[in-house]
Amino acid sequence: MNLIGKLRCLFSSGGAAVSIEQAALRDAHALAQLHRASFHRGWDPIEFEQLLSDRSVLAHRLRKGRNIIGFIVSRMAADEAEILSVAIVAGQRGRGLSRDLVRTHLGYLAGHGIKTVFLEVEENNRPARALYDRAGFRVVGRRERYYKGDDGTELNAIVMRRDLS
C-alpha cells in the first residue's frame, strides 16, 4: 500500500461510503472547525496549516461523501509518535468510525517505522478512554490539572502508550 495514497471506501455508514484519506493543507479550515466544535480550546486554521505543512506530522481525514466528519493528527520523532488530536463530528459519534480511523492511522504510523505511540486524554473523557483501551493503549502516567474546562475547571490528563512492534 502506498503510504501517501488514499485508502478509499473502507466501510459504509448510514448508506454513504466513508473514506479515510491523508489530510491536505486545503483541509485546514474544515479541521479547525471540527476541532473547535469538539474541544475546550479549539485550534485555529493557522495551527492546522502549520501542522499539515510539517513533514514530521501525519494526519488523516475521515470523509463521508464530500464532508470531512473526522480527523486524527500525530507528530513523529525517531521511532515514536504522539497522537495530538482525534475528533469526529458530534452527529457521527458512537458508530465505530473513530475505531477505524485510529486503527488505520496506527497502521500508517507503523509503516513509517514508528514503534511506540503516546497520547494524552482528559481523565473523565470516558468514550475516548474506551476507544484507546480497545485500540491497545495502556495508561502509563497522569498529569494533574493539564486541561482547562469551559468553566475554567482544571482537569487531569491520562498519558497512554501503545507499542506497535
Q: Which residues contact 153 (CB under 8 A, 6 or more apart)?
A: none
The model's confidence at residue 12, banded by pLDDT at 50, 70 and 90, is very low
Note whether residue 132 is domain-resident. Answer: no
Note whether residue 144 is domain-resident. Answer: no
Note whether residue 59 is domain-resident. Answer: yes
Q: Among 22, 24, 12, which residue's Cα sits nearest to residue 64?
A: 12
- Count the domains in the chain: 1
- The Cα 18–Cα 9 span in angstroms is 5
Res 4: pLDDT: 37
pTM confidence score = 0.86
Sheet-wide strand order for 16-22 = 7-13, 16-22, 57-64, 67-77, 80-88, 116-122, 154-163, 138-148
Res 151: pLDDT: 75
CATH number at 38 reads 3.40.630.30
Res 87: pLDDT: 95
Note whether residue 139 is domain-resident. Answer: no
Note whether residue 63 is domain-resident. Answer: yes
Note whether residue 152 is domain-resident. Answer: no
Structural domain including 12 reads 7-117
Q: Among 95, 94, 148, which residue's Cα sits nearest to residue 126?
A: 94
Note whether residue 52 is domain-resident. Answer: yes
Tell me the pLDDT tens digit for each residue of 81-97: 999 999 999 888 888 89
Note whether residue 110 is domain-resident. Answer: yes
